[in-house]
Structure 1
Amino acid sequence: MTSTTEDVPLFPMPRAAGCPFDPPPGMLRLHAERPVTRVRLWDGSTPWLVTRYEDQRALYGDERLSVDPRQPGFPHISEAFQEAYARMPPSFLNMDDPEHARIRRMVTAPFTIKRIEAMRPAVQRMTDRFVDAMLAGPQPVDLVEALALPLPSLVICELLGVPYDDHEFFQSRSKVGVRQDASVEESRTASAELLQYLDAQLQAKVADPADDLLSVLAARMQDGELARHDAAMLGLLLLGAGHETTANMIALGVLALLEHPDQLAIVRDTDDPQVLAGAVEEMLRYLTVVHDGQRRLALADIEIGGEHIRAGEGVIIPGATGNWQADRFPDPERLDVRRDARRHMAFGFGIHQCLGQPLARLELQVVYGTLFRRIPTLRRAVDLEKIPFKDDGVVYGVHELPVTW
């Protein structure tokens, strides 16, 4: 099979006009016709795109695939991402076992389901406070700035021990970090400023520890279990991932429900926490905001889906196609909040699945369960065509969501 000709489809692929919640039609077509195939990236490289649910789950658990982006042939998202990984040691997100497992164990405890569930009253109070401010202010209001972004930012700040007063600083730099079109210089500057910030926060925790996650990292650093730079990188990952993906999921999920009023009514009117929890799982499946796929590199030859992936070749695993596979989720294009969607892969699968998924689930349950109950007449303030979607981002969502009631 050739790997450099123009007939190899370019990836990522555009979404269809007027279908902002659907995966790109080109990707769905490949899923139906060639579920393991070559695609062409920005640099001309041709990694493998693996779209079927069962193949994806198999690859997520395959030790012959590496997440280390420093290796030759890794399918980078952009030149800026490639340059960033080349000059900085990776975070545990981009490490293979056993080092990945060693560092992940250091930060697992605060994200256990029991510990996260204990945060529910505090997250509820925060959400009510932001909704109070919305109701007291002028209309229309941008839901992204009023609720979707500040809530997860405040929650992760409380968990890490980072001053929320600094949220504009780290939010602006984090936005650069997830833009596919960010220049190398923009990406370098933003990441350097964030690392310096986290390093300063860690040094403050060394001098004055508290009951927060950065203090845990600072103690590990003092004990010699974590290098200073590695501790700052880990703090950076937790801070960025802790608000960016959830913020996009909140806003995009609200918009999806506004476009499906029958499903919105179920979420708004239920007093059953299990119904609400199930609705969140379906929203995660339906939207799959990490929309350009998980990236891997084959360390050895792999046979999958009738194709032969050779050692040194890149692999991309787009969760959106697996989550829209009809034999796993019947009528996948239909948003059905009563569907059993628990086996979706919006958080990945296997050893690298999202560490913060219990926290994201909690925040989404509280927000969706609160917003529509307290503002039952919530609606878009502009036409759907005027809402700016984040087609340029690693994480899908909306830049703005003007709403009124």
Structure 2
Amino acid sequence: MSDVTFPMVRRRPLDPPDEATELRQQGAMHRMTYPDGHRGWLVTRYSAARAILAHPHFSNRQELSHPPLPSQLERVRMQRERKMPAGVFLRMDPPDHTRYRKLLTGQFTVRRMKALESRIEEIVNAHLDGMAAAGGPVDLVQMFALPIPSLVICELLGVPYEDRAQFQEDSKLLLSLETKAEEAIAALGRVMAYLYGLIQRKRKEPSDDLLSGLIEGGELNDEELTGVSFLLLVAGHETTANMLGLGTYALLTNPDQLAAMRDDPSVVDNGVEELLRYLTIIHVGPIRTALEDVEIEGTLIKAGETVTLQLPAANRDPSRFPDGDRLDVTRQAGGHLTFGHGIHQCLGQQLARAEMRIAYPALLRRFPGLRLAVTPEEVPMRSDMGIYGVHRLPVTW
């Protein structure tokens, strides 16, 4: 079998690329040649992906990995030259990762997320009122899916929501697979400069928010605080925003599943997990690099080799999720890998779940006649972005 190459193209907007599904049927591990000539692996089955995410001898450090897409080569090279900003712990290994993660874990407890739920409900209802006042058709991304998680994460961190336009535009540049390296580095610089300035202001005038709490804790310097806040800000609104947009598109194109989510409150928790599994918006990566020789399911991965996980295919693996290509909001879908697994599992997953559990049923009940204002084929998909979703979602009711 010849080497796997990227990018893979989704021929149907809600399904993994056909090549990924075919590879999964053949096996878990597939030889892959990266754009820089490095020989590594593509992982398509659930058990192998989960084992790699949990394994202590696979590194998440950016300077060790090899990008799977040609468009990322120059950007990664420039980022390596500049070194990963302090505090961006997602791309660190223990013990550095452990230190940052421990400081933040207490901020994202289930208890705190429960306490936030009433505020999330207020934000959701305010945006539903805005949609009703505007009248259809509207772009659900701009009126609902993007502003709700953006407002929530801004309030949680203590970032002024009125400043959102610039950092949202820069986030889009950073997450686009097509942004030129110089533009991405400039966008990163703008966001970091903004957050650094915000931290200086909070040192003088702290308030009741997560960033002020981290400042008062005294364990992080300003550069570290800037990196941590950057990671939380971008991850906190981009991921949930795309789940709300793409999840609504999935439900509108599967009306029986929409009806179940709208009409049966007991379905909502399972439904959110199923949408997370079925859609798997992290569609390029995660990427790990072996620190030493490791055998995974009979395949030897040598020290220094990079593995790219194809999570959309792994989350449809029939050995873990029978009939996994079917959206079934009543399915027990726990254990999916959309939030990752192991020490790098998404820190804000409980917040994301709370937002989706509130937002989906509220939207569907407020507008029981909600429907696409264009054909499904006319909805522009985010195939060009590191986080999958819809660029726009025209709806009416």
Q: TM-score normalised to the size of structure 1?
A: 0.94
What does 1:366-385 align with in structure 2 at a 5 Å threshold?
Answer: 366-385=358-377
| Aligned match of 2:119 | 122
Equivalent AA in structure 2 for residue 233 of structure 1 = G
In structure 1, stretches of 5+ residues that fail to align are 2-6
Mapped pair 1:234 → 2:231? no
Partners of 1:104 and 1:251 in 2: how far apart?
29
Mapped pair 1:214 → 2:206? no
Partners of 1:67 and 1:82 in 2: how far apart?
16
| Aligned match of 1:32 | 25
Mapped pair 1:259 → 2:253? yes
What does 1:77-226 align with in structure 2 at a 5 Å threshold?
Answer: 78-79=72-73, 80-90=75-85, 91-220=88-217, 223=218, 225-226=219-220
Could you tell which deviates more after superposition, 289-298 or 317-326?
A: 317-326
Could you tell which deviates more after superposition, 154-163 or 314-323?
A: 314-323
RMSD: 1.4
Partners of 2:56 and 2:66 in 1: how far apart?
16
| Aligned match of 1:334 | 326
Equivalent AA in structure 2 for residue 250 of structure 1 = L
Query: What's the offset of the Cα at 1:305?
Result: 2.7
Contact 2:38 2:66 in 1 (8 A): no
Equivalent AA in structure 1 for residue 306 of structure 2 = G
Contact 1:107 1:213 in 2 (8 A): no
Query: What's the offset of the Cα at 1:87?
Result: 1.0
Partners of 2:332 and 2:7 in 1: how far apart?
29
Partners of 1:249 and 1:42 in 2: how far apart?
30
| Aligned match of 1:11 | 6
Equivalent AA in structure 2 for residue 237 of structure 1 = L
Out of 20, 31, 38, which is 2:13 matched to?
Answer: 20
What does 1:382-401 align with in structure 2 at a 5 Å threshold?
Answer: 382-401=374-393
In structure 2, stretches of 5+ residues that fail to align are none
Cα pair distance change 1:185/1:305, threshold 3 Å: same
Query: What's the offset of the Cα at 1:260?
Result: 0.5
Equivalent AA in structure 1 for residue 315 of structure 2 = N
Out of 264, 281, 289, which is 2:273 matched to?
Answer: 281
Mapped pair 1:295 → 2:295? no
Q: Deviations over 1:10-59 (max 9, x none)?
A: 1231111xx11000110111111132012233333332111211111111
Query: What's the offset of the Cα at 1:85?
Result: 4.1
Partners of 2:296 and 2:7 in 1: how far apart?
22
Partners of 2:208 and 2:40 in 1: how far apart?
44
| Aligned match of 1:4 | none
Partners of 2:346 and 2:203 in 1: how far apart?
28
Equivalent AA in structure 2 for residue 242 of structure 1 = G
